[in-house]
Amino acid sequence: MHIDFPYDVDASGRTSATRYADHVRGMVEQVLFTTPGERVNRPDFGCGLLDLVFAQNGPELAAAVEMTAQAALQRWLGDLLTVESLTVRAEESTLAVSVSYVLTATGESMNVLLRGGTSA
């Protein structure tokens, strides 16, 4: 078993555990939502999606996010997964990020869909 994300303690007072695929999904979310500069010992870690909540939404933003998210996932998780597709869609005031990847260790295919509001 692997450490659950976000960190939690179970009823017995121990660190919550999860299966490998869910652990890696948590790592994908960490890479996408962590702002570069947020981690002291890894100042270049992350993609910074949370910083875009008040960004002007549109196709330009979607294209930029697609490139930065793909690069961040490859850099930080490239040994754990292979990104099959990463698409970002600007839909009115929502930015939708869809990631499909294959776990290197197990060959299991996974999908993550993240949606967040931006300024219109």
Look at residue 21 in the predicted model and tell me its pLDDT: 93
Look at residue 117 in the predicted model and tell me its pLDDT: 57
Question: For residue 18, what is the enclosing H or E element?
Answer: strand 17-18
Look at residue 113 in the predicted model and tell me its pLDDT: 92
Q: How confident is the model at residue 119 (pLDDT cuts 50, 70, 90)?
A: very low
For the chain, the domains span: 2-117
For 100, list phi and psi in degrees, rounded to 5: -115, 130
- The domain defined by 2-117 folds into Nuclear Transport Factor 2; Chain: A, (3.10.450)
CB 34 within 8 A of CB 47: yes
> ∠ CA 54-42-110 to the nearest 5 degrees?
70
Amino acid found at 23: H
> What angle separates helix 59-77 from helix 20-33, to the nearest 10 degrees?
130
Residue among 93, 98, 109, 42 at smallest CA distance from 65: 98
